[in-house]
Amino acid sequence: MERRFKVVLDWDNEGNAFHVYVPSLPGCFTHGSTREEALERAQEAIRGHLKALKIIGEPIPESDVDIAEISVNIS
């Protein structure tokens, strides 16, 4: 069975890397020096996180998050 998870990529200028976290899986995060590397590592992190949930008998979250973008006037 395949499951899709939304991930958030955040560029860190200081660390020169993308930080990635999975909002629907608290504690599941990783990083990579390129977007592609970060996304590949995110897949690995998700697989590991789901495996750990299964080992400790916790359910896989049924729902994912809804991510929206809003505009705010900063004048």
Q: What is the pLDDT of residue 16?
A: 94
| Full residue range of the structural domain in which residue 58 is found | 1-75
For residue 1, pLDDT beyond 80? no
Predicted confidence at residue 49, as pLDDT, reads 97
| Average pLDDT rounded to a whole number, residues 2-31 | 94
Alpha carbons 34 and 19: distance in angstroms, whole number: 10
pLDDT at position 37 is 98
* Residue of higher predicted confidence among 62 and 7: 7
Q: What's the confidence (pLDDT) of residue 67?
A: 81
Work out the average pLDDT over 68-72.
92
Tally of domains within the chain:
1
CATH number assigned to the domain comprising residue 2: 3.30.160.250
